[in-house]
Amino acid sequence: MSGFVLCRLPKTGLGNQLFPLLKSAVFANLNRLPLIVVGYNQFKIGPYLRGEKIKRRYNGYFNFQKNIFGEQIDRFIVWRHRNFEKVEEPAIEKIADDQKKRKQFIFSAIPHWEDYFEGLRENRELVIELFWKMINKSILRKLETLPVPCIGVHIRMGDFRKLKEGEDFKKTGAVRTPEDYFIEIINAIRRINNSELPVCVFTDGYREEIPKLLSLKRIEVIEGNKDIVDMLLLSKSKIIVASAGSTFSYWAGFLSDSPLIMHADHLHEFIRPQEINRIYYEGPLHPDSPNLLLQKNIELISQ
């Protein structure tokens, strides 16, 4: 083996795991190098201790996943080449052949929140192509049976805590987006569209945690799917409303060619390339003065 790419999946949720996974896949593809992925046979005790609805078990999602014994064989292959030079988090680009020899190109990091999709945004078409090829056929078959959501709303709860009284949402991370925000955005979208568009809610929380939102008409909570099915289904929505700080939301937006509503207090670098966002808006929705492109996008949505 002259050189290879190694992806070590972090002990995190699906959204955060996709960053090293897709970066390593793109780098391997650009440089025609073999890719070894480890760390997918994880057991996370945190969701059980916290009583979370979603337990974050991702077995069977991707076609590279093996049983524990198969993963150990891959780890042995990596160990056998331990004398190779280790290159941590290389730039996502094509390199010369003489730079590949006897090297491990290692991806394991979660990118900084200021620009989650650096290196991926520039290769978006290839990222999407490789991602869909990785997904197990059983997941794809399940997805084909589900109707496309109209308004797709992701409400991240889980290990995100509630905003404390007097706390500035803009200056905090890993905090739940307030329920009233989602209600305001749904009402604004419906007002601009001049119809009561149906809403599909994707959440890792419990129904009793969003009582005011569920009191609205034509609201459906999507339940019973694997996390990756929900992410892909959310990405197919005609319009997506993201949770602030949720990489699950952000990946659904990255994969989507639909308008993407982001919380105004948590805007950083764009998720998608500008050639997409010039057609399908990405950014905040200000109910009193909506962006003209977003307004046009919403007006064209049909039930």
Task: Summarize pLDDT for 224-233 with one digit per residue, the tens.
Answer: 999 999 999 9
List the structure tokens of 51. 């009583």
Residue 11: the pLDDT is 92
How do residues 98-111 score in pLDDT, each as one tens digit? 999 999 999 999 99
Residue 167: the pLDDT is 83
Domains and CATH numbers, the chain: 3-135 (no CATH), 138-299 (3.40.50)
How do residues 258-293 score in pLDDT, each as one tens digit? 999 999 999 999 999 999 999 999 999 999 999 999
Beta strands 219-221 and 282-283 are unpaired
Name every residue whose Cβ is closer than 8 Å to that of residue 139 and which is 6 or more positions away in sequence: 60, 61, 226, 228, 229, 232
pLDDT of residue 116 exceeding 90, the answer is yes
Residue 172: the pLDDT is 82
Residues 77 and 25: their CA atoms lie apart, in Å, by 18
| Summary mean pLDDT of the chain | 94
Query: Which residue's structure tokens are 């005790």?
Result: 45
pLDDT-based confidence at 170, cuts 50/70/90? confident
pLDDT of residue 26 exceeding 80, the answer is yes
Beta strands 239-241 and 151-155 are parallel
Residues 225 and 244: their CA atoms lie apart, in Å, by 22
Count of alpha carbons within 13 Å of 119, Cβ hemisphere only? 22
pTM of the predicted structure, to 2 decimals: 0.94
Residues 102 and 239: their CA atoms lie apart, in Å, by 46
Residue 224: the pLDDT is 93
Query: Which residue's structure tokens are 């569920």?
Result: 214
List the structure tokens of 118. 């650096």
List the structure tokens of 284. 């905040």
Longest dimension (CA), the chain: 64
pLDDT-based confidence at 194, cuts 50/70/90? very high
> DSSP E strands: which ranges in 108-254?
151-155, 199-203, 219-221, 239-241
Instruction: Please say whether the beta carbons of 243 and 154 come within 8 A.
Output: yes
Residue 49: the pLDDT is 54
Residue 159: the pLDDT is 82
Angle at 37 between CA 136 and CA 5, to 5 degrees: 125
Angle 14-31/247-255 helices, nearest 10 degrees? 40
pLDDT of residue 20 exceeding 80, the answer is yes
